[in-house]
Structure 1
Amino acid sequence: MAMSDVENARGRPLAIWTIGFRPFFLMAGIWSAAALAGWIAMLTTGLTLPSRFDPLTWHIHEMLFGFVLAAIAGFLLTAIPNWTGRAPISGRPLAALAALWLTGRLACLMSASIPLWLAAATDLAFPFVLCAVVAREIIAGRNWRNMPMPVPIAVLGLADLLMYLELAGFSVPAGLGWRLGLAAIIVLISVVGGRIIPVFTRNWLVKQGAANLPAAHGRVDNVALGALHAGMIGWALFPALSPVGGLLLLAAALNLWRLVRWRGIATSAEPLLTVLHVGYLWVIVGAALLGASMLTAHVPEAAAIHALTAGAIGTMVLGVMTRVSLGHTGRALAADRTTALIYLLVILAAVARVAAAASGSLPMLIEISAALWIASFGLFALRYGPMLLAPRV
């Protein structure tokens, strides 16, 4: 990447390279829509990619370790300067991180044309370098409260490695890699969501003059998180162990109690807040369905997986990306009609995908869900791309 692509004539970074959310949110939005479009094309036409992964595994891999990991990188590289008081990663180091992510996508896509070890090493470089960068910034800022934050990134790197080891024929339990990756993402959403959702809600309700505010973090939250984390990790390691199913049902009930205490019902006038509560509700629905699927054959596991992925991850990622993009580009923290439509489309996509799985994976519902998802993330890229590329207003 040439210096002119990163810096202006005065030697300062171009707007997109000034802070992490700008390139990574834009890449996450574009890749989410493009990768799903590619998966649907393979599903409906028989198209194949020059990847060593089969089409379904490639779809799973790219949504977890491509799209979601880019969104996580954008969030953490933007939040850490606020936590530590240090200057954000910017300029050529940020551009190098973005190039590393993009190279990983190309390596996975073209892995049939290069040695497997090279494809794996190229793809795995990003999560482990990101983990090292996040850890270094937190340690340098002596921000010990957030020291656990690099752990989910490291687990995602390990999960990605397990997918490649399984592909190479090593003795890895089937699906352990993607299950562990999904569990790490849900753990991160539950922790970060528990920090930002009640705080953002409290701030907005205070401005509205409301007296009934979200409850402070307490024992309820700790128990709810402990049950959810243990249940998700237990499922990743032992997907057929019925006591884990019971633990996930308990975790769903505890986290529903937690969510009710955040007063989400009072935020209906501001979609920018409501969408975060809906996203966390999808975590609860997904955990409940996953627990039920481990206890009875009447609940398909695929419905639970898509409640957690299309529902919780899709909704929370868009909720966070839109809010951060607005706030950090100097715009008002309020959702316009286009942003509200982005939220509606992703929620409908999740509902359609869970319904498709619950009814036996009806092709029409899968295609409708995919179209809604692509429209949602495509609209995000179109609406928010210009503000991510332009200087702060």
Structure 2
Amino acid sequence: MSAFIRLLGEGFRVFFLSAGLYAVAAIGLWLVWLTTPLTLPTAAPPADWHAHEMVFGYGAAALGGFFLTAVPNWTGAKAARHVFIGAAAAIWLAGRIAVAWSGHLPPALVAAADLAFLPVLGAKIATQLIRRPKPQNVMFLALLAILWAANLSVHLEWTGVTGDTARRGLYAGLYLLAAMIAVLGGRITPAFTRNAMTRTGREAGLPRSFAPLDAVAIATAIALPVATLAALPEAVTGAIALVGGAAQIARLAFWRPGFTWGQPILWSLHLSFALVGLGLVLTGLAAFGLGNPVAAVHLLAIGGVGGMTLAVMSRASLGHSGRPLIAPRPVAIAYLCLPLAGLSRWAASTFAVLYLPATLTAGVLWTAAFVLYVAALWPVFWGPRLPAERGAP
């Protein structure tokens, strides 16, 4: 089997690699634009292009890799074949190219290219979920639909159909990624921690979850992007974010984060989940005039969403390729870079005098994290799965 065919053989390979490469390319270009006279060929303002591509470019690739890998495991359905994975990756890439060159393309064509990926992904996982249609899994189709609606809101303004929906769409898209983490991270973080603890022989003091708390945390996390798209009053969205963030942090307190020190593959999940909660709390406070909303959003996006997607992509790539679930040193360093990048970007918006140096620092740290991730896991994405006796149990 050629390396290229192998790359398209499993969803995590091509999409997690694409997410890592695009994380480097998009932020690298953004840093160049900030520091040089470069003019980007996008029709949208550069700041909007930057926000859009982090959510609907990088974020969508991470989701694609996750769902194409996880859903067959949940349902026992056949995994997507090479042809579909290759076609889906091409559609995702076409969207990135169209948005990047939107200044030279018809707006409707840009919108069609960029909006195509999520329906294709959703249709595929729907055919897999129908085999075992559990409500807790089928709900992800609704979440993908909300993410698509957020992107549609952006393109409606970019094509001139509406006059004020792009900003709502960008924020709603980010909040939807945070909601995905509230649901998925709320499952895997305590589960992976519990598994690690039981492997050491522990039978008491394991992570605990409480249904009422989980319900509040998940409901508010999902309500936030919906309320944002619906243009509800800022006080309403702020209250939802505040309650949702506090609920995420409360959940984490019962998941035994102290056990994870010394295990980057675990503490990266806990730290990122905490930053999702903190980012939502700061977003809620900013809605009531307490703090800078841009600072809050960047902490949520970089430290929370960026950190969790990196943690999940690296762990899944190791596990599904037969490698031990131990983060390589470069990846462990990458786990540290993203929270620091989030804090630096928060400082950039909080203290005007620090804006440019702190923004550049955040960009360099983000770029370094994903360079380390791609370099360390390059053999994983392109190489064969390890034999069972050499890989993870």
Separation of aligned partners in 2, 1:226 and 1:208: 34
Q: Is the CA contact (8 Å cut-off) linking 2:108 and 2:159 kept in structure 1? A: no
Q: Is the CA contact (8 Å cut-off) linking 1:232 and 1:248 kept in structure 2? A: no
Separation of aligned partners in 1, 2:97 and 2:245: 38
Separation of aligned partners in 1, 2:315 and 2:210: 22
How far the C-alpha of 1:271 sits from its partner, in A, is 0.8
- The DSSP-based 3-state class of the residue aligned with 2:368 is helix
- The DSSP-based 3-state class of the residue aligned with 1:362 is helix
Separation of aligned partners in 2, 1:247 and 1:329: 39
Deviations along 1:344-385, one digit per CA (max 9) or x if unpaired, are 111211111111111136100000110010010111111112
Where does structure 1 lack aligned partners over 5 or more consecutive residues? 1-6
Answer yes or no: is 1:385 the counterpart of 2:378: yes
Separation of aligned partners in 1, 2:44 and 2:324: 43
Answer yes or no: is 1:316 the counterpart of 2:308: yes
Q: Does 81-90 or 215-224 show the bigger shift?
A: 215-224
Root-mean-square deviation (CA, aligned residues, Å) is 1.8
Aligned to 2:213: 220
Trace 1:29-178 onto structure 2 (pairs within 5 A): 29-174=20-165, 175-178=167-170
Letter in 1 for 2:385: R
Aligned to 2:363: 370
How far the C-alpha of 1:307 sits from its partner, in A, is 1.4
Identity of aligned residues (%): 37
Aligned to 1:301: 293
Q: Is the CA contact (8 Å cut-off) linking 2:220 and 2:244 kept in structure 1? A: yes
Q: Does 204-213 or 236-245 show the bigger shift?
A: 236-245
Aligned to 2:324: 332
Aligned to 1:22: 13
Aligned to 1:289: 282
TM-score, normalization by structure 2: 0.93
Q: Is the CA contact (8 Å cut-off) linking 1:346 and 1:372 kept in structure 2? A: yes
Separation of aligned partners in 2, 1:223 and 1:104: 35
Separation of aligned partners in 2, 1:313 and 1:217: 23
Aligned to 2:222: 229
Query: In the comparison of the two structures, how many residue pairs are matched?
Result: 383
How far the C-alpha of 1:121 sits from its partner, in A, is 0.6
Q: Does 322-331 or 337-346 show the bigger shift?
A: 337-346
Deviations along 1:39-66, one digit per CA (max 9) or x if unpaired, are 1111211311222112111101111111
Separation of aligned partners in 2, 1:159 and 1:172: 15
- The DSSP-based 3-state class of the residue aligned with 2:139 is coil
Q: Is the CA contact (8 Å cut-off) linking 1:318 and 1:343 kept in structure 2? A: yes
TM-score, normalization by structure 1: 0.93
Separation of aligned partners in 2, 1:172 and 1:73: 30
